[in-house]
């Protein structure tokens, strides 16, 4: 009885669930049947048209073609509105064209920023510019046959009808078939006005800048100038504006030019004028005359007195030889008169650097001197003193070091790329801040054959006379090394604009036009510089206000680059 009751309890809930499932399946079958009948009736009713699924509308992102879905929405990558795609059915052929014709807006500075509605660039904040449809955008006005209009300030803004620039509000100018502004021959049309001091400041109408200077007009034909230097173009400046900015030109001429190499130099002692006083005999110091370092001494001036038993014995030998010579000369019948003995004793004192005056005095008085005074072998400055009264000096000792500063060396550092300009004997001019307005002349005495691996320079030794002792070792100054003069094409150094990788000058072509040219330069003497290539004698070049001309040329080149070369 218990088992039967359990069976009835467990079986009773399953029957309603099965009935509910059968009902849902039946309802789904009816729904599918009605949808299928409707689709078959629309497609022709044969039930075998497999292209029906392709006729369903599809939406795609213009920037990311892989994003496709079957209902309108936004791209999950860039957020743009999805554009309706073309379907396979003939009736849908006109819809894609309408979708493609939808206007797109792009940033002039960041072409990757595109939107389907007007807004600002999220990177630079510029207004997005309306883009032409891909199917209608011609490669050039001549190819399309349509009249094109372009903004003079923003060459990337152009359209096929008159209007205003969406960025600056300027009126769009008409382009001719060649892509240039359509200006009648002999007529100049003002595009905009620009500050003469700051080319970035522009205006649609005449005005004054912060300094009270009038803005100068910029003409359409100036915006179309071209040049042969990358990043620069030929510019046209009217005479009134040339006078306003102080523009000056001069001719490139043939003339004599001598190169000048500027570097720093350090005053040093001439190593050939360093003298060390030594003694060739041992003894004891009695007195010291040159008693401090830095003292100036003259040649032959006493330095110190020394008592030496060896030296005293040598003097006695000379006195004895003199007496022997006298005795032999008075005696008759003897061979020789003792001259050899005297010469040998005198020679010994001379080899010990006994002053000649001391030897002469001994020969005259026939008396040996207890002390001998040692004199300076040269004039100069005492830079080393290792002697005091009473001390003993051994043979070979060097108690003094004396520098002759009547002529000194200047050690200049010259880079390896400039060594070819330095020759032994070349004239040199030395100037020091310690002596304003005074120049010291010298000549190159030696060029070190080995370079310093750390500084990549070679030492150049310059001999400079120093009779008054003004130049002192370890002074620093500016060295100008000259090269032999020669005839060459030369221009003022102010005319050259050096960017580090190239040198540019602006050549006056006439009618207010100035063309940039790259030149190859040579030696310079400070005021004039040699031109090896890029110019010819007689060319008029800009020497003043050339940096303003350069900024004008660069700005116009940048505008042309934005406009794709227009």
On whether both 508 and 557 belong to a single domain, the answer is yes
Backbone angles phi, psi at 180, to 5 degrees: -95, 165
The three-state secondary structure class of 339 is helix
On whether both 217 and 247 belong to a single domain, the answer is no
Q: What is the CA radius of gyration of the chain?
A: 51
Q: What is the pLDDT of residues 211-240, one digit of tens each?
A: 888 888 877 655 654 445 777 888 889 889
Query: 67-71, 77-81, 105-109, 531-535: which has the highest mean pLDDT?
Result: 531-535
> Please, which pLDDT band fits residue 286 given cuts at 50, 70 and 90?
very high
Q: What domain count does the chain have?
A: 5
Interatomic CA distance for residues 226 and 16, integer angstroms: 90
Q: What is the pLDDT of residues 358-399, one digit of tens each?
A: 899 998 998 888 999 999 989 999 999 999 999 999 998 999
Which residue range forms the structural domain that includes residue 355? 279-397
The three-state secondary structure class of 39 is helix
List, in order, residues 6 or more apart from 114 with CB less than 8 Å away.
62, 63, 80, 104, 105, 106, 107, 128, 131
**pLDDT score of 45 more than 60:** no
CB 553 within 8 A of CB 227: yes
**pLDDT score of 310 more than 70:** yes
> Please, which pLDDT band fits residue 4 given cuts at 50, 70 and 90?
very low
Opening angle at CA 298, ends 295 and 304, nearest 5: 70
Mean pLDDT of all residues in 494-513 = 90
SS3 sequence of 114-178 = EECCCCECCCCCCECEEECCCCCCCCCHHHHCCCCEECCCCCCCEECCCCECCCCCCECEEECCC
On whether both 22 and 171 belong to a single domain, the answer is no
Interatomic CA distance for residues 20 and 378, integer angstroms: 132
**pLDDT score of 74 more than 80:** yes
Q: What is the pLDDT of residues 399-409, one digit of tens each?
A: 999 999 999 99
On whether both 467 and 499 belong to a single domain, the answer is no
Interatomic CA distance for residues 317 and 325, integer angstroms: 12
Judge whether 366 lies within some domain: yes
> Please, which pLDDT band fits residue 112 given cuts at 50, 70 and 90?
low
Which among 482, 498, 521 is the end of a domain?
482
On whether both 469 and 492 belong to a single domain, the answer is no
Judge whether 151 lies within some domain: yes
CB 566 within 8 A of CB 150: yes
On whether both 266 and 413 belong to a single domain, the answer is yes
**pLDDT score of 311 more than 70:** yes
Judge whether 133 lies within some domain: no
Q: What is the pLDDT of residues 322-354, one digit of tens each?
A: 888 888 777 665 555 678 888 899 999 989 888
Helix (H) or strand (E) holding 554: helix 546-562
CATH number of the domain that residue 311 is part of: 2.40.50.100
Which among 372, 397, 422 is the end of a domain?
397
Interatomic CA distance for residues 397 and 405, integer angstroms: 24
The three-state secondary structure class of 29 is helix
On whether both 287 and 249 belong to a single domain, the answer is no
Judge whether 217 lies within some domain: yes
**pLDDT score of 75 more than 50:** yes
On whether both 188 and 241 belong to a single domain, the answer is no
Backbone angles phi, psi at 405, to 5 degrees: -100, 20
| Site of tokens 């000096």 | 393
On whether both 475 and 435 belong to a single domain, the answer is yes
Mean pLDDT of all residues in 59-77 = 78
Judge whether 131 lies within some domain: no
Judge whether 527 lies within some domain: yes
Which among 349, 380, 397 is the end of a domain?
397
Per the model's pLDDT, the better-predicted residue between 301 and 146 turns out to be 301
Opening angle at CA 503, ends 498 and 508, nearest 5: 110
Judge whether 78 lies within some domain: no
On whether both 286 and 367 belong to a single domain, the answer is yes
Total-model pTM? 0.47
CATH number of the domain that residue 549 is part of: 2.40.420.20
Judge whether 90 lies within some domain: no
Structure tokens at 31: 């729904």
On whether both 283 and 380 belong to a single domain, the answer is yes
| 173-174 β-sheet, strand order | 158-159, 149-150, 173-174
On whether both 384 and 312 belong to a single domain, the answer is yes
């Amino acid at each position: 009885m218990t088992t039967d009751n359990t069976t009835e309890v467990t079986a009773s809930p399953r029957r309603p669930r099965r009935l509910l499932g059968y009902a849902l399946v039946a309802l789904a079958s009816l729904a599918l049947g009605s949808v299928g009948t409707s689709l078959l009736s629309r497609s022709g009713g044969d039930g075998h048209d497999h292209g029906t699924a392709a006729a369903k509308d599809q939406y795609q992102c213009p920037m990311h073609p892989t994003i496709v879905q079957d209902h309108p929405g936004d791209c999950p990558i860039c957020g743009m509105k999805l554009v309706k795609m073309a379907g396979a059915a003939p009736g849908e052929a006109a819809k894609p064209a309408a979708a493609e014709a939808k206007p797109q807006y792009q940033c002039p500075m960041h072409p990757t920023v595109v939107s389907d509605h007007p807004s600002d660039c999220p990177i630079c904040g510029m207004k997005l510019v309306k883009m032409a449809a891909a199917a209608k955008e011609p490669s050039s006005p001549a190819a399309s046959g349509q009249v094109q209009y372009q903004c003079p300030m923003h060459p990337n803004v152009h359209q096929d009808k008159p209007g205003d620039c969406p960025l600056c509000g300027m009126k769009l100018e008409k382009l001719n078939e060649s892509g240039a502004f359509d200006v009648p021959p002999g007529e100049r049309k003002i595009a905009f006005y620009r500050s003469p001091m700051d080319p970035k400041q522009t205006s649609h109408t005449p005005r004054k800048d912060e300094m009270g200077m009038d803005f100068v007009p910029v003409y359409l034909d100036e915006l179309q100038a071209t040049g042969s230097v990358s990043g620069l173009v030929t510019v046209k400046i009217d005479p009134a504006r040339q006078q306003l900015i102080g523009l000056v030109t001069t001719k490139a001429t043939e003339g004599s030019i001598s190169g000048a190499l500027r570097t720093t130099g350090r005053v040093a002692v001439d190593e050939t004028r360093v003298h060390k006083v030594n003694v060739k005999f041992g003894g004891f110091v009695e007195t010291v005359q040159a008693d401090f370092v830095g003292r100036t001494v003259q040649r032959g001036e006493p330095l110190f007195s020394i008592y030496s038993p060896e030296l005293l014995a040598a003097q006695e030998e000379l006195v004895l030889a003199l007496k022997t010579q006298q005795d032999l000369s008075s005696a008759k019948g003897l061979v020789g008169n003792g001259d050899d003995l005297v010469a040998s004793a005198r020679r010994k004192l001379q080899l010990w650097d006994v002053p000649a005056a001391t030897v002469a005095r001994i020969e005259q008085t026939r008396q040996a001197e207890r002390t001998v005074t040692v004199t300076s072998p040269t004039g100069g400055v005492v830079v080393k003193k290792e002697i005091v009264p009473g001390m003993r000096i051994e043979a070979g000792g060097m108690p003094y070091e004396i520098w002759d500063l009547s002529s000194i060396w200047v050690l200049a550092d010259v880079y390896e790329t400039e060594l070819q300009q330095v020759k032994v004997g070349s004239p040199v001019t030395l100037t020091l801040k310690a002596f304003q307005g005074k120049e010291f002349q010298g000549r190159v005495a030696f060029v070190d054959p080995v370079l310093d691996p750390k500084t990549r320079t070679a030492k150049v030794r310059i001999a400079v006379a120093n009779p008054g002792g003004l130049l002192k070792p370890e002074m620093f100054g500016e060295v100008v090394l000259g090269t032999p003069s020669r005839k060459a094409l030369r221009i003022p150094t102010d005319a050259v604009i050096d960017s580090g990788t190239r040198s540019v000058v602006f050549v006056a072509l006439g009618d207010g036009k100035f063309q940039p040219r790259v030149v190859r330069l040579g030696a310079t003497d400070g005021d004039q510089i040699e031109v090896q290539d890029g110019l010819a004698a007689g060319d008029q070049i800009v020497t003043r206000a050339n940096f303003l001309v350069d900024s004008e040329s660069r700005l116009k080149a940048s505008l042309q680059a934005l406009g794709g070369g227009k």
